[in-house]
Amino acid sequence: MSGPYTLCKATLADAPALRALHRVAFAGLAGAHYTADQIEGFFTEVETVDPDLVADGTYWLIELGGLPVASGGWTMRPPGYAPAAQAPGTATILAVFTDPGHARRGLARRIMDRIEADAVVLGQADRIDLCATLSGLPLYLALGYRPVEARSLKLASGAYFPAIAMTKTVWPPFEADSPVIPAFRASAA
């Protein structure tokens, strides 16, 4: 099935369908990077639908025929996995997933465009951080994020779930009353 795709904010009622989408996305699109045990361990230990983001109205989904086929969100709260101290003005992007049946149609890019713009305009962010899965890396590189460091989530089984911390500097949109830089003038002398 293809479009029309509708972008909207997630509600708590969407949580079960979103969790199912996240599992299907990982199973279908991350298998080249993670073993079945790593994927199972990840979903057993990590809640991918953050109720704070849903309550804040900052978790978005794209639906088709009443079901979510892509999702992702942003927050100005320090994420659970990050060090306590976070630079002011830092937004974090969380839980970006696309259903394998709808991959490479620009859905994650559309979600990222929305949540990055909201992080800048509503969150007043000047920097956006995220923790990329290895399967998410090509998306974030394409969107201008740069790798900062390798990270690992230690699973209860003792296995490690590798990921990559990434960041991007962002700027607010130019307004008509933005400070004016004096133009260079050719010297009359």
The nearer residue to ligand COA, 16 or 138, going by C-beta atoms, is 138
Residue 166 as a binder of ligand COA (CB under 6 A): the answer is no
Q: According to CB under 6 A, which residues from 80 to 99 bind ligand COA?
A: 96-98
Do strands 127-133 and 160-169 pair parallel, antiparallel, or not at all (unpaired)?
antiparallel
Q: How does DSSP assign 144-185, residue by residue?
A: T-EEEEEEEEEPTTS-EEEEEEEEEE--PPP-TTSPPPPPP-
Q: How many residues touch ligand COA (CB under 6 A)?
A: 22
Q: Binding of ligand COA at residue 109 (CB under 6 A)? A: yes
Q: Which is nearer to ligand COA, 59 or 97 (CB)?
A: 97
- Quote the CA–CA distance of 112 and 108 in Å, as a whole number: 6
Q: Is the bond into 4 cis (omega within 30 degrees of 0)?
A: yes
Using CB positions, name the residue nearest to ligand COA: 136
Indicate the residue type of 162.
P
User: For residues 30 and 120, which CB has a smaller minimum distance to ligand COA in the complex?
Assistant: 30
Helices (DSSP H) in the chain: which residue ranges? 15-29, 36-45, 51-56, 107-121, 137-142
150's CB contacts (< 8 A; 6+ apart) are 162, 163, 164, 165
Look at the block and give the residue holding tokens 């050719």: 186
71 near ligand COA, rule: CB under 6 A:
no
61 touching ligand COA, by CB under 6 A: no
Write the interaction track for ligand COA spanning residues 121-150; mark x where CB under 6 A is met and - where it is not.
-----------xx-xx-xx--x--------
Nearest approach in angstroms of CB 89 to ligand COA is 22
Name the site residues for ligand COA (rule: CB under 6 A).
Answer: 25-26, 29-30, 70, 96-98, 103-109, 132-133, 135-136, 138-139, 142
